[in-house]
Amino acid sequence: MPNLLVKPNGKHGRVTHVTPENAGWTYVGFDLFRLRPGEKAEAETGDREACLVFITGKGKAEADGSGFGELGGRTSPFEGKPWSVYVPAGSSWKVTATTDLELAVCTAPGRAKSHPARVIRPDDLGQETRGKGTNTRHVTNILPETDKGADSLLVVEVITPGGHTSSYPPHKHDADNLPAESQLEETYYHRMNPTQGFAFQRVYTDDRSLDEAMAVEDGDVTLVPRGYHPCAACHGYDLYYLNVMAGPRRTWKFHNAAEHEWLLKA
């Protein structure tokens, strides 16, 4: 199995490149671009749909023959909601940076032109707070399952305050067993505030045939092919992550680890 911890490859250009082939799975792809003003990222979508998330900075976006103008504006992923663009399969996209730009490209299988290309504006996004006490985290839904304008992709941002846990109690979504559980691969793109911090993530199965604990730093990506995948943010350092999920069915139904489910009632 590939290493579940993916470090950025440099500081400029396409610094992260996760594909179904190099991840050893079927559905999720994730790229991260860091561009200077005037530089561009572009691609044909082929048989995959895409969600372009403006993590920080601004850029002019085009998708499926339409120009959407300048989008973005956050100076930090910890600041407000993002701008995003949905791009259908069977089309193309291009983003030209107008400031220093950090752009995430989330992909999964799609049907050609099954949905129109569109801008997902910050004002369109729902937010919620999950958990309580030191398990509190703050969620921004970019492409939730209630948004019917995508074939496979589920995309969400989460901010976990320093000293808190997230994706916790441990849960998994690796069995195609609806309505109890859905099968979804997942990536986590991690950022830290301040940037020199680190957090921890564990990916493991009940039988421990997969059991990997990782120290994650600013800019790292973790892969969750199966199993439980809790995170812990260290004191003094807030943790941001962008989640991309996809599987055979576009729904998020998870199973809590039985030995830890009591925490939900504590």
| d(C-alpha 161, C-alpha 170), whole Å | 18
Amino acid, single-letter form, for residue 92? S
Is CATH 2.60.120.10 what the domain over 5-264 is classified as, yes or no? yes
Check if the beta carbon of residue 12 is closer than 8 Å to that of residue 34: yes
pLDDT of residue 266: 75
Domain spans of the chain? Answer: 5-264
The alpha carbon of 237 is separated from its chain's Cα centroid by a whole number of angstroms, namely 20
Task: Kindly give the parts of the chain with pLDDT less than 50.
Answer: none
What would you report as the CA-atom Rg of the chain, rounded to the nearest whole angstrom? 18
pLDDT, residue 2, reads 66
- pTM recorded for the entire structure: 0.97
CA torsion 208→178→106→221, rounded to 10°?
Answer: -20
| DSSP tag of 173 | -
